[in-house]
Amino acid sequence: MKKYAALFKIRFINGLQYRAAAAAGLSTQFAWGFMEILAFSAFYRANPAAFPMEFSHLVSYIWIQQAFLALFAPWGSGGDAVEAIVSGNIAYDLTRPLDIYNRWFIETAANRVARAALRCTPVLFVAFILPPPLKMTLPPSLFQLSMFVLAVPLGLCVVTAYSVIDSISTFYTMSRYNAIFVIMADFFAGGYIPLPFFPEPVRKVVELTPFGAMQNMPLRIYSGDIAGPDAVKGVVLQIFWFAALLLAGKMLMRKSLKRVVSQGG
Partner 1 sequence: MKLYLKFFAINLKSQMQYKATFLLNIFARVVMSFATVAGVWFMFMRFNEVEGFTLNQVLLCTAIIMMSFSLTEVFARGFDVFPRLLGNGQFDRFLVRPRNIIFQVLASQMEFARLGIFIQAAFVFIYAIPRSGVVWTRDKILTLFLMIICGSLVFFGLYLVYASFAFFTVEGLEFMNILIYGGREFGRYPFSIYGKGILKFLTYIVPLALFQYYPLLYLLDIKQNAFYMLLPPLSMLFLLPSYAFFRIGLRRYKSTGS
User: Interface residues with partner 1 (CB under 8 A)?
Assistant: 20-21, 23-25, 27-28, 31-32, 35, 38-39, 42-43, 45-47, 50, 52, 175, 177, 179-180, 183, 186-187, 192-193, 197-199, 202
Closest separation between CB of residue 7 and partner 1, Å?
A: 28
Closest separation between CB of residue 190 and partner 1, Å?
A: 10
Closest separation between CB of residue 82 and partner 1, Å?
A: 15
- In terms of CB distance, is 86 or 149 closer to partner 1? 86
- In terms of CB distance, is 1 or 20 closer to partner 1? 20
Report the run of H or E that residue 181 belongs to, with start and end.
helix 179-188
Residue/partner pairs of 97-101 with CB below 8 Å, 24 or more apart: 98/3, 98/7, 100/253, 100/257, 101/164, 101/249, 101/250, 101/253
Give the whole-angstrom CA distance, residue 79 versus residue 259. Answer: 22
Closest separation between CB of residue 21 and partner 1, Å?
A: 7
In angstroms, the Cα distances linking 139 to 58, 128, 177, 196 are 12, 12, 37, 18
Give the whole-angstrom CA distance, residue 36 versus residue 28. Answer: 12
- Inter-axis angle of helices 100-129 and 55-67, nearest 10: 130
- In terms of CB distance, is 64 or 182 closer to partner 1? 182
- Inter-axis angle of helices 100-129 and 2-16, nearest 10: 40
- In terms of CB distance, is 54 or 99 closer to partner 1? 54
Q: Are 9 and 108 in contact (CB under 8 A)?
A: no
Tally Cβ neighbours within 10 Å of residue 58.
25
- In terms of CB distance, is 27 or 95 closer to partner 1? 27
- In terms of CB distance, is 95 or 200 closer to partner 1? 200
- In terms of CB distance, is 148 or 211 closer to partner 1? 211
Query: First CA to last CA across the chain, in angstroms?
Result: 33
Closest separation between CB of residue 196 and partner 1, Å?
A: 9
Closest separation between CB of residue 200 and partner 1, Å?
A: 9
Closest separation between CB of residue 86 and partner 1, Å?
A: 13
